[in-house]
Structure 1
């Protein structure tokens, strides 16, 4: 419900929709009675609320999640992708894997990127596929370090880092290959979210979505 922002803006209306999904009008037409004495959670999940909102997560929702930009909801999504982090004990930051500062037009032109592609990359820069959760102190150290240098020089085990952060073993970490990095990591994140939210993975539907 938080990821889909079901209760944002019109919480009362959303709750009314859930309530109406669990009851029916009595024979006298003036009062309501519950449809059942007990309800399985699946009943809540499939109850439609105002604006067509519901608690179930589908392929469209996951595509929307992956386009979240750095903020409260992207942090929430990342926390589901890094379930072992002790968020209640340690301060974690949302870190740009390819640093934010590397997307200046002059730096992108230096690696052969120009025109509209610069704007596209600057937009992609802040989306979930370029974000990770990093311990606050570690993020302070990383700052504007190139991703390739950070992984090769600063991490104890580059293979483990890639696996933990949904990066293909053979994926280039150079800024010039950012678009490929973004696309491949997005696909790995997508598959993980399908698994976490028990959504059937269908390759054809994904191709249509992207």
Structure 2
């Protein structure tokens, strides 16, 4: 069993649960609440009712919005110690999901049932603060995303995305980058070839290597 799937490990990952009685923490960790999902699994879908509040123990979830045209826009990622504001908004507002959650990597998550989530919101101030802090944090991220989509050039956004990975070499396809930007592969491929011709990156099979980080930073802030 993962160390995080113990009362002590869960509190270390989610300090907002500190102070709960031992028997209640044990109830949260009952075997039927623990989910192990392979990469690529759809964790939740649009128009699907929310059954619980996910506490991510291991792996990452990407939350995406699908347009009628079939294009996707990546809204945000959920990593261990965080959770999904779309799930909490659905539980609080008694509405269905309005986006999709996909496992980027193999996942281990703990699903808090609706009644347990509602009870913790009312009875445990630290958990309530955690949930509303998530709202504030994610809304800030989404406002930045709206600003970039509405006002920033796609080459700037692509440069920022490459830099945000903070890796010398990104093992990623052009389609994956296009999905995160809400664009199409052909346009992203054209921009990457332009970056390569300027000496900013070098391109390989499903790889983008950063050659001139300072040049990318200048482009991202133009």
The answer to which structure has the higher strand fraction is 2
What TM-score, normalized by structure 1, do the two folds share? Answer: 0.21
Choose 1 or 2 for highest CA Rg: 1
